[in-house]
Amino acid sequence: MAGPEGVHHASWADMSAVLLVEDELLVRELASEDLGDAGFEVTAANDGDEALGYLREGRRFDLLFTDIRMPGATDGWQLAREARQMLPDIRVIYATGLGDAADGLEDGERYVRKPYSLTDLRKALTQLGFEEGNSA
């Protein structure tokens, strides 16, 4: 089934991996649980620098779910740019409490505003071409 430009449809359960990047422990644990329940294999990182380490090891991810403002040298914007250089087809969801995150989003990118709900997350996944279960 054809989706938005640059987006391929896939069942959530068919996803091989998501790289979750969040410096707040509770938020990271909740997001990991939500993504795991949706059928994703989750690799969690505390910050952008740790996430870049996973990418530089050659690990493959279909989705990057990242906070924008984090401690360390790499913020969410920079992380996504570098991830796309290594994995051109990776899709990105930014999570932020900032109101201007929608400015400058590229194809294959969405954002959810903190605090976000499971409904918000699933909506962003659907907009990126991921389909839950067998729904078509």
Cβ density class 44-71: b for 16+ within 10 Å, e for less: bbbbbebbbebbeeeeebbbbbbbbebe
Residue numbers in the chain where pLDDT is lower than 70: 1-16, 99-102, 132-136
**CATH architecture of the domain with range 19-128:** 3-Layer(aba) Sandwich (3.40)
| Encoded tokens for 54 | 């996973």
Task: Give domain limits for the chain.
Answer: 19-128
First to last CA, the chain: 8
So what's the pLDDT on residue 136?
29
